[in-house]
Amino acid sequence: MKAHEPLRIGIAGLGTVGSGLLHLLAGHGEAIAEKCGRPIAIAGVCAKSREEPGAKLTGAPWFDSPAGLAVSADIDVFVELMGGDKGPALESVKAALGAGKHVVTANKALLAKHGAELAALAEENCVSLNFEAAVAGGIPIVKTLRESLLGNTVTRVYGILNGTSNYILTRMQREGLPFGEVLAEAQALGYAEADPTFDVDGQDAAHKLTLLAALAFGVRPNFDAVHLEGIRGITPADFQAADELGYRIKLLAVAAKKGGGIEARVSPTMMPKSSALASVDGVLNCVAVDGDFVGQIILVGPGAGSRPTASAVASDIIDIARGHMGPPFILPTAKLESQSRSQMQTHEGGYYIRLSVYDRPGAIAAIATRMAEQRISLESVVQKRDAPDLPGFGRPGQEGDPTPVVMITHRTREDQLRNALDSIVKDGHVQGVPQMIRIEAL
């Protein structure tokens, strides 16, 4: 195809992101054509219904099925904005790649589950599989790893990758509100879905981390390799303790080189107030990369939304128009290494522990003994007899009633800490399940 001929795209999915892309191309089409040397033409669209708002924004030919659009002779690029890790999304992307069509997608779940298979299919048919919009919305982290940092050995990639969870934790921190109340408000404002599981239990962030790990470390995307913990168990008591200790609590996604493998995890994490990530609040996302030559770089921006995500999709389309190509995960698929599930028992670091300890002689000494048996060194122990009446603290009462005790450990192995906590619970000195949150020095 000659450089001045239009790049013909077919868009499957005309919801929030698809509508945003149509607006972007309508408003910036001429400027884009000048920048990449050829116009972008919408040669076909497909959606669940012709009544969707985005369907009314284009006069392009309508296709009744995404699979039909994917293999149409009238398109050069199939833009998949439907979502889902199976069904029409998977079938149509495979069809497009098999038919020699470039693919641009914002579908993190699809790539986290089937990325290696789809990348191999793209390489086999000499076409692009671009997915900038699949990770952190408008933040250009995929291009940063694919292009700008290729001269570096990356040792760690991490960040705040889910805006819904970050909004909830920010409100809890600032206003001392319980999780359930803030979640309900987030749902009313449209920041959280009616079923918030995908966001608050960490799955969304884990999909994104799966792709970042593949790009940063040359491993096959493997969603099942990510250790997952959500934010449902975080209480106002934990935020108050964190504030007094100089920390903030965030849902942190981390993939780092460890020994001969990669440790990947998504979990609530305490980080120093002075760290750059601690100040990333509300619905913003943040991604940081540690490289051996560049040091640390941090990118902050909107991780979702119509316009930021459409911007990322458009950048991928422009790359194709310019003729920029390469393996989807930097290395050819055959050279990507396997990644096994993270074994958090061997994780080493500092920890925050909150216990509801029965206020009776010998209880604290017994707890300290159990910690010592596992060779766990305690940096601080605070017994909060004057704790406020907050969920997770309880109101101090008579002797023998539970009293909040907060402990900070020095660097230790997680399996040793869990063994100590199991013994403490069996000894009967605490009420309920101990709270444990990892501390990350960023």
Higher pLDDT, 286 or 383: 286
Residue 153, CA distances (Å) to 160, 203, 294 in order: 22, 27, 9
| 389 pLDDT more than 50 | no
pLDDT tens digits along 231-272: 999 999 999 999 999 999 999 999 998 877 888 999 999 999
Q: Can you tell me the distance from the alpha carbon of 244 to that of 242, in angstroms, rounded to the nearest whole number?
A: 5
The DSSP element (H or E) to which 69 belongs, if any, is helix 66-70
Residue 303: closest CA among 176, 149, 166: 166
- Token pair for residue 112? 């986290």
How high is the pLDDT of residue 427? 93
How high is the pLDDT of residue 442? 79
Q: Can you tell me the distance from the alpha carbon of 257 to that of 236, in angstroms, rounded to the nearest whole number?
A: 33
Look up 208 and say whether it is catalytic. yes
SS (H, E, C) 192-223: CCCCCHHHHCCHHHHHHHHHHHHHHHCECCCH
Mean pLDDT in residue range 165-184: 94
What sign for the dihedral angle of Cα 400, 402, 405, 409?
A: positive
Q: Can you tell me the distance from the alpha carbon of 266 to that of 160, in angstroms, rounded to the nearest whole number?
A: 9
Residue 387: closest CA among 365, 402, 371: 402
- Token pair for residue 263? 């440790």
Q: Estimate to the nearest angstrom the gap between the alpha carbon of 73 and the chain centroid.
A: 36
Mean pLDDT in residue range 184-190: 88
pLDDT tens digits along 33-48: 999 889 999 999 998 8
pLDDT tens digits along 353-379: 999 999 888 899 999 999 999 999 998
Task: Tell whether pTM > 0.85.
Answer: yes
What sign for the dihedral angle of Cα 89, 95, 99, 100?
A: positive
Grouping H, G, I as helix, E, B as strand and the rest as coil, residue 41 is: strand
Catalytic residue among 108, 113, 208, 250: 208
Mean pLDDT score of the chain: 90
| 387 pLDDT more than 60 | no
| 399 pLDDT more than 60 | no
* Domains, the chain, ordered by start: 7-134 (3.40.50.720), 141-302 (3.30.360.10), 345-439 (3.30.70.260)
pLDDT tens digits along 57-113: 677 899 999 999 999 999 999 999 999 999 999 999 999 999 999 999 999 999 999
How high is the pLDDT of residue 394? 45
SS (H, E, C) 255-318: EEEECCEEEEEEEEEEEECCCHHHHCCCCEEEEEEEECCCEEEEEEEECCCHHHHHHHHHHHHH
